[in-house]
Amino acid sequence: MGMEGIGARVARKEDKRFITGKGKYTDDMVVPGMRHAHFVRSPHAHAKIKGIDTSAAEKMPGVIGILNGAQLTEDAIGNIICGWMIHSKDGSPMNMGVWRPLAQDTVRYVGDAVAVVIADTKAQARDAAEAVVVDYEPLPVVTSAVEALKTGAPQLHENAPGNLIYDWEIGDAAATDAAIAAAAHVTEMKIINNRLVPNPMEPRAALGVYDEGEDHYTLWTTSQNPHVARLVLSAFYNVAPENKLRVIAPDVGGGFGSKIYIYPEEIVCLWASKRTGVPVKWNCDRTEAFLTDAHGRDHVSTIKMAFDADNRITGFKVDTIANLGAYMSLFSSSVPTYLYATLLSGQYNIPAIHANVRTVYTNTVPVDAYRGAGRPEATYLLERVMETAARELGVSPAELRRTNFIREFPHQTPVIMCYDAGDYDASMSAAMKAADYDGFAARKAEAKGRGKLRGIGMSCYIEACGIAPSAAVGSLGAGVGLWESAEVRVNAVGTVEVLTGSHSHGQGHETTFAQLVAERFGVGIDSVSIVHGDTDKVQMGMGTYGSRSGAVGMSAVVKALDKVEAKAKKIAAHLMEADESDIVIENGELKVAGTDKSVPWFQMALAAYTAHNLPEGMEPGLKEGAFYDPSNFTFPAGCYICEVEVDPDTGVTEIVQFVAADDFGKIINPMIVEGQVHGGLAQGIGQALLEGTHYDPETGQLLTASYMDYTMPRADNLPSFKVSTTETACPGNPLGIKGCGEAGAIGSPPALINAITDAIGNNDLTMPATSERVWAAIRAAQ
Amino acid sequence: MYQTNYHRASSVEDAVKLASANDEAKYLSGGQTLLPTMKQRLAAPSDLVDLRHVGEMKGISVNGGKIRIGAATPHVEVATSAEIAAACPGLAHLAAHIGDPHVRHMGTIGGSIANNDPAADYPAGLLALNATIVTNSRSISADDFFTGMFDTALEEGELIVAVEITAPAKSGYAKFPNPASRYALTGVFVARHGDGSVRVAVTGAGADGVFRHAGMEQALASNFSADALDGVTVDDSDLMADIHASSAYRANLVKVMAKRAVAAAG
Ligand SMILES: Cc1cc2nc3c(=O)[nH]c(=O)nc-3n(C[C@H](O)[C@H](O)[C@H](O)COP(=O)(O)OP(=O)(O)OC[C@H]3O[C@@H](n4cnc5c(N)ncnc54)[C@H](O)[C@@H]3O)c2cc1C
């Protein structure tokens, strides 16, 4: 691998600027004449807008303009759309309600933007926003998806009767029902997957600049996918034509999914810049982020798993109600369908699966993909029910899983997915060994002596990464293709630039993508620059989400590297009068195999650009591009084991051990992979133990809109993780990569809840397992 | 934050004068409550009178069992003072568990008790320790000072100068932090005084702020041990219920924390 090649544990190149505060984020951008936006937001969860009076606000100091939905409509700015069409089981298309970037007639959640004030300073914009008088007529409110489906519930959108967006199904209902009817044992559960607020460290921001002379627009924004933003802003929102719009996502401080979408504020800043004639910047504060960033999860499911007399799973039936909030966000429809129900086979042979999913409008902020997106929800159902079934059947949870593991690949599940490779026994054995699973009974007895309830829980997850191929997702309703592009430019001095459509907002691409070049050409990673996040620099790309940068983005880089390598060898062969097939690249040199003849890498590069002596007919220069469209998803999988001690007096859970054994396929940089797993585990543990999102059911106010009330995981909530990897290469892409960005968040919640329920002897426990819930569950079990 | 005028007071007299010059003036101590509230535009004082440079309001002295803590003394000094650790270990423990290091280096005892947040730690300590709150114009006993949630006996413009405590025979504090804010979801301070009397004060749990629990005080006066609390019931009808905890759970915590506080007091 070399010092910096594939598999090397090199420190992240980008960390120096991040750690020393030298990163450049959207809010750091300053352009001449720039002014500031503050949004007037609805304090009501549901209300008619009867009038907006801006007369007093307009006279306030520094105010440049106050814009509202009527002007937006005047300028023919489009509705915000959901880009993935789902059809109900009766064949009808999903009921997408109208979402205006500035609400015009009705507001549907607390925080819905109704107007924007542009002023010389941020404080002036805020002062004037307070002076805007909006006349609201409050309407009845519903925040729970289950309640919203009931007759008589407040209705959100005219075209979605009963608040139903779609009623979708997958799998074979008859076969699944028959399996349940014939089963030797059926485990039934009702499971809630709690709603989460994403909380990236950097809140969202946008800076819209309209250049009248050029009739050109620039948008700096906190985006995980600037090209998708440009496409949507142009093709659907009618803000600017694509050739006149540059979208730049500079350093971005985390996204976790919440920065995939194009939000009202970005549309409005860009549009307002033209309308008012000044560059417009907006940066949200933390409570605004709580109120307006797309939330995650929020499912209520009832499930039945059927077993035969040999403890083999014969059927799995799932009925899910998913809350999508007040409007359909960009990919919201795909999350509780194709990103969720297609994973319901887990690591197991399940002959019959049926899932029914109803998605519902409520007076809450829109819900969309959040780290894991659908896959944590599926894994949580499966792994809770497997552990619970094992307890009911009186077999060890590990044994029940082993009995049902898939062992032959490729494996076609009954829910679309075809798993290409995996070794689930290997990760389970590795995890059990690291956790000293067999020694648990002694540890439990010892803890009992200290008055603590000790429990152990397991979770074997599978996820699907690198959503693909384009034709397949297109046939399932996706409005975009899911490939990636790359360009490799070798400069005349041999240094290299890699342009990629994958955006890095914490993942470490500037290091790992450079490692691919180091591996291939022997060029040090400091001589390789990764260029991303600017639609004027990178031709096209689909961005970063769904753990796709490795499996898809790097594969595109590899394809471009292949082309560069082929041309470089031709040039070297010509320079050394050797045969092209004899050229090998080693230690930064192009050598003729078996001889002492060589040309240094930089000299070959220089030759490409001087073009004094190139092979007959060869174009000068050394720059190649590639688009890569994968042939399948990738399927990372693993086994997590969590051990807890519960204080029976208070219900407080302490995680005393957490083991993760993951199969991510080929690993480019183990340190970065470990970091991704650590972060994912922290988020998964946050969901399982700490993070509860509370909307007041009567008023629709978000009661957990700051860190005083919303519990983020902190270092002292977490143990020192024991992480390791096993490896089965992914046959579907050139590097054999599967992806590691979401696994931790997907696999950990059931492991933790299984451990607590084991400790307290009560399977009925809802996330987040707050100390009060655990305390109450202990008492209920007594 | 709205516009405000900043004044740096040099003495107690100066502070009171500066504050009285303007109806909408407020004292600024550590700013750990006031500044976030201003940033959220929930408070809009026209003038801020900064107390952090008033020498007579700062520092700790312990003389023959008489403890005096200046109102502008940050939590970290109480937490790390060897004299406090010796004279009243429960109080040092309490101060060490307020917020995080940043908050402990900025937040002050005077600001904390003037604010009387129902989930703040100091009110429980001062009530159980039978402290005296010394202001620019009078001395107020803790029993009279804490008058309800975010409410105190302070008059308009009255300035807390110091807190005085007689070192107890034993003291212990047990805090169950709110997992989000890390304020007290329930905190119980137990003090056994030189005359044998016991005071038990509870913060975080009361529907109307910090309170004393008579049943536990009686039980502990006759037998100062955790077991003595086994038979005591905590009525949940006057306790707080919110998204963080029901009153029944808080009632349980009051008892569990009281036992732990007694155990800590030794
Ligand atoms: C993140 C965070 C976590 C926290 N966690 C905890 C916790 O766990 N437990 C806890 O108890 N507290 C906690 N606090 C509060 C903190 O401990 C401070 O004690 C508290 O904010 C008030 O003290 P201050 O010195 O900051 O007062 P300021 O914020 O300056 O003032 C608060 C109020 O008191 C008034 N005031 C201040 N000094 C005087 C005086 N001498 N006389 C009269 N009036 C006065 C002010 O005018 C103002 O109205 C936390 C705060 C933060 C920001």
CB A1 within 8 A of CB A8: yes
Residues of chain B positioned with their CB less than 8 A from the CB of A709: 180-181, 243-244
Stretch (H or E) spanning B66: strand B66-70
Quick check: CB of B175 below 6 Å from ligand 1?
no
pLDDT in tens, A713-722: 999 999 999 9
Which domain covers residue B226, as residue numbers?
170-265
Which pLDDT score is estimated for A2? Answer: 66
The residue whose C-alpha atom lies closest to atom 11 belonging to ligand 1 is B120
> Nearest C-alpha of chain B: how many angstroms from A712?
7
Give the integer Cα–Cα distance in Å for A357 and A670: 38
Instruction: Write down the residue that tokens 């940043």 correspond to.
Output: B102
The bridge status of strand A411-412 relative to strand A418-419 is: antiparallel
If asked whether residues B142 and B230 sit together in one domain, one would say: no
If asked whether residues B113 and B128 sit together in one domain, one would say: yes
Give the integer Cα–Cα distance in Å for A578 and A593: 10
pLDDT in tens, B28-54: 999 999 999 999 999 999 999 999 999
Give the integer Cα–Cα distance in Å for A455 and A440: 8
B111 CA to middle of ligand 1, Å?
4
Same fold, A15-20+483-628 and A374-464+633-781: yes
If asked whether residues B190 and B227 sit together in one domain, one would say: yes
SS3 A197: coil
Cβ-count burial A436-464 (b if 16+ within 10 Å, e if not) = ebeebeebbeebeeeebbbbbbbbbbbbb
The whole-number average pLDDT for the span A611-628 is: 96
Q: What is the CATH number of the domain that holds B10?
A: 3.30.43.10
Residues of chain B positioned with their CB less than 8 A from the CB of A711: 179-180
Give the integer Cα–Cα distance in Å for A418 and A774: 39
- Partner residue facing A649 (CB), from B40, B246, B256: B256
Q: Is the pLDDT of residue A1 over 80?
A: no
CB A723 within 8 A of CB A678: yes
Domain at A31-139+201-254+259-292, CATH from 3.30.830.10, 3.90.1170.50, 3.30.930.10, 3.40.190.10: 3.90.1170.50
pLDDT in tens, B185-204: 999 999 999 999 999 999 99
Cis amide linkage into residue B74, ω under 30° from 0: no
If asked whether residues B104 and B151 sit together in one domain, one would say: yes
Instruction: Enter the tokens of residue A26.
Output: 């959207």
Quick check: CB of B173 below 6 Å from ligand 1?
no
Domain boundary among B110, B134, B166: B166
**Mean pLDDT value across chain A:** 96
Residue A133 zone, left/alpha/beta (φ > 0; ψ -120 to 50; rest): beta
Which pLDDT score is estimated for A481? Answer: 87
Contact: B243, A708; criterion CB under 8 Å: no
Count other C-beta atoms under 10 Å from residue A33's C-beta: 8
Which pLDDT score is estimated for A335? Answer: 97
Contact: B256, A708; criterion CB under 8 Å: no
User: What is the CA A428 to chain-centroid distance, rounded?
Assistant: 26
Instruction: Write down the residue that tokens 């961005």 correspond to.
Output: A543
Quick check: CB of B45 below 6 Å from ligand 1?
no
- Provide the number of structural domains found in chain B: 3
Domain boundary among B131, B166, B201: B166
Give the integer Cα–Cα distance in Å for A25 and A47: 36
Contact: A772, B249; criterion CB under 8 Å: yes
Instruction: Enter the tokens of residue A413.
Output: 């599940």
Domain boundary among B166, B183, B206: B166
Q: Which of the residues in chain B have pLDDT under 50? A: none
Contact: A694, B244; criterion CB under 8 Å: no
Quick check: CB of B47 below 6 Å from ligand 1?
no
Stretch (H or E) spanning A560: helix A555-575
Contact: A770, B243; criterion CB under 8 Å: no
Q: What are the φ/ψ torsions at residue B28 (nearest 5 degrees)?
A: -115, 120
Q: Is the pLDDT of residue A546 over 90?
A: no
The whole-number average pLDDT for the span A411-431 is: 97
If asked whether residues B134 and B76 sit together in one domain, one would say: yes
Q: What are the φ/ψ torsions at residue A710 (nearest 5 degrees)?
A: -100, 125
pLDDT in tens, A157-201: 999 999 999 999 999 999 999 999 999 999 999 999 999 999 999
B78 touching A (Cβ < 8 Å): no
The residue whose C-alpha atom lies closest to atom 37 belonging to ligand 1 is B111
Count other C-beta atoms under 10 Å from residue B217's C-beta: 18
Which pLDDT score is estimated for A547? Answer: 87
Quick check: CB of B132 below 6 Å from ligand 1?
no
- Partner residue facing A707 (CB), from B180, B246, B253: B180
pLDDT in tens, A427-457: 999 999 999 999 999 999 999 999 999 999 9
Helices (H), B44-191: 75-80, 82-87, 89-96, 101-106, 109-115, 122-128, 142-145
The residue whose C-alpha atom lies closest to atom 20 belonging to ligand 1 is B112
Residue type, A318: V
The whole-number average pLDDT for the span A756-760 is: 98
Which pLDDT score is estimated for B81? Answer: 98
Instruction: Enter the tokens of residue A555.
Output: 């594969």
Which pLDDT score is estimated for A467? Answer: 80
Quick check: CB of B16 below 6 Å from ligand 1?
no
B263 touching A (Cβ < 8 Å): no
User: A182 burial class (0-12, 13-18, 19+ CB within 10 angstroms)?
Assistant: exposed
Give the integer Cα–Cα distance in Å for B42 and B34: 9
Contact: B179, A770; criterion CB under 8 Å: yes
ipTM above 0.90, yes or no: yes
Give the ligand 1 atom nearest the CA of B57: 41
Which pLDDT score is estimated for B1? Answer: 86
If asked whether residues B140 and B73 sit together in one domain, one would say: yes
A771 touching B (Cβ < 8 Å): yes
Residues of chain B positioned with their CB less than 8 A from the CB of A60: none
Which pLDDT score is estimated for A755? Answer: 98
Which architecture, in CATH terms, is A374-464+633-781? 2-Layer Sandwich (3.30)
Choose the mutation target among B42, B244, B257 for the interface with A, i.e. most A CBs under 10 Å: B244
Q: What does CATH list as the number for A15-20+483-628? A: 3.30.365.10
A708 touching B (Cβ < 8 Å): yes
> Nearest C-alpha of chain A: how many angstroms from B233?
15
Quick check: CB of B125 below 6 Å from ligand 1?
no
The whole-number average pLDDT for the span A346-375 is: 98
The bridge status of strand A245-248 relative to strand A216-221 is: parallel
Contact: A708, B180; criterion CB under 8 Å: yes
The whole-number average pLDDT for the span A276-305 is: 97
- Partner residue facing B181 (CB), from A287, A708, A776: A708
If asked whether residues B179 and B256 sit together in one domain, one would say: yes
Contacts of A562 (CB under 8 A, 6+ apart): A626
* Cα diameter, chain A: 87
Q: Is the pLDDT of residue A245 over 90?
A: yes
If asked whether residues B130 and B83 sit together in one domain, one would say: yes
Of all residues in chain A, what percent carry a pLDDT higher than 70? 100
Confidence of residue A587 (pLDDT cuts 50, 70, 90): confident
Contact: A690, B179; criterion CB under 8 Å: yes
If asked whether residues B29 and B77 sit together in one domain, one would say: no
Of all residues in chain A, what percent carry a pLDDT higher than 90? 96
Residues of chain A positioned with their CB less than 8 A from the CB of B179: 690, 711, 717, 770-771
Q: Is the dihedral of CA A238, A240, A246, A247 positive or negative?
A: negative
Domain ranges in chain A are 15-20+483-628, 31-139+201-254+259-292, 374-464+633-781
